[in-house]
Structure 1
């Protein structure tokens, strides 16, 4: 089983982020200003050796790639932000395309959602996602094609792998039939499309599956959101309670941070997520309070025993998607921290080594 890690490219300045969040903003801005919300809350988090890197520096990408190989991560999944011709945070992937000597396998997850000022509890739209027409889709495809052609871009059966975050838009079917055809015209066997799923509630799951693109090959069940939704579904009261608490937090009437146990979320996932053409997700812990304060929630870290059990449970999957390599403001990072060192990277390497031992 391959293990791929989601990769956030927001560790450098952009003109848009400077305008929306202040001059000099990067992901590190929110990481550094995080504060503990209760006694024992471990915030802020710190990169090991104060490595507040700039992701546009080649030495940073080389370091990340070396870590990836050393700890047996099979590749990165770059978030791809494309708004009908407008690109944001595109420079890290474009740099990788230029730096052919860096042996970093990768593919894209198109984060095709509207951006708003949600970090501050606002619905103000910063940039709206629209899809245009066939000419616009062709322009998008032509932008992607040099990446697809790169020998490091991950393909399955000579089909470039491409994830979409939100598959609910009306143009999806026709758009990706075009992408599939254009891939074939470009020398591939088609497009290997993966769609993200965030809920296993029966009605929502049926609607999701009925709306899949004909080109879709697999469904990625996103963690920790799947585990959290399953856990909350155990009780109608807990769902109602969470909605009320979220609303009161939004209005700053109360300050309450919901806390989960990571082991609980993975255990309930193993009991409920055994679908055909499923790609399982994985996380180690979560804390998005640096972005959302009390509006966020926390998931305490996994035990190594539950991690091994989960990996063994899904070991026959063709790959696992790990959330994430460097989501520092959501408390999901494999990169070494001052608090935990290389802990979770070491767990992955330990599991991969144990798999090799079992095959001997």
Structure 2
């Protein structure tokens, strides 16, 4: 009896007979083994596809992709900061430089520098959603910054050309504080400290010590140097290229040589502060008017120490003073009734 041969017991013959496998049975066995091999191969392929099993090269590529993704996120954050700084430059350009030079402002439509049309960033859609979104946002921000920088550069070139062409006018723009002192009363309606009635205050008041030097805020020519009962000793400067006239009132005296027709330069001494005329104490009353006698707010012209934010703060304080004065006037009128 061959030990490698399979036998079975036949009860009819009471003998062990050799088991012989049929062709069909062999085919079934081979098919089962083949199917099992296919199942194992499929399981292995699925494991590799779902990253359960990866090669060292794949691990290195994944680590590199993660590092690049983090770096791109960091760069995107830095670009956001730079974009905000460009917006700040644009705001200063609009609120300060163009106001100072009296240049036509850039329209909001041009400032937005937007683009339209077909999707420009569709090429990123083949990546994973998070990566595609990050790439889209970063690319869009870069495009926006490129347009912003181009527009701002063009704006600065325009302002430089304008300044060069209007140099005389800029020299006569009243941009300098006439005294280095604190402003105690702003332009606008207020309760007159002497008359006690609400009236327009056509200038700003600087609180000073007696004899504080007063300088010309711009190039000009002395229009008047005289006395009145309300302004006391005062000096008027005419700035012909701008069409403005500035007044310096309640002076103790004008500086030597300051008389009608005298040419003065920005920063040149023109007078000394005092307490003359209708005044409650030593201070300088400073006005700015057009040649048509229209009063303007001098705060709109101070540069560079008078920043837009400082102006906003002073304007807000002025509004509060107006509300307080208005309330006091209403209360007084109510008591009189």
TM > 0.5 fold call: no
Structure whose alpha-carbon radius of gyration is higher: 2
Higher helix fraction: Structure 1 or Structure 2? 2
TM-score (norm 2): 0.22
TM-score (norm 1): 0.21
Greater relative CO (CA pairs within 8 A, separation 6+): 1
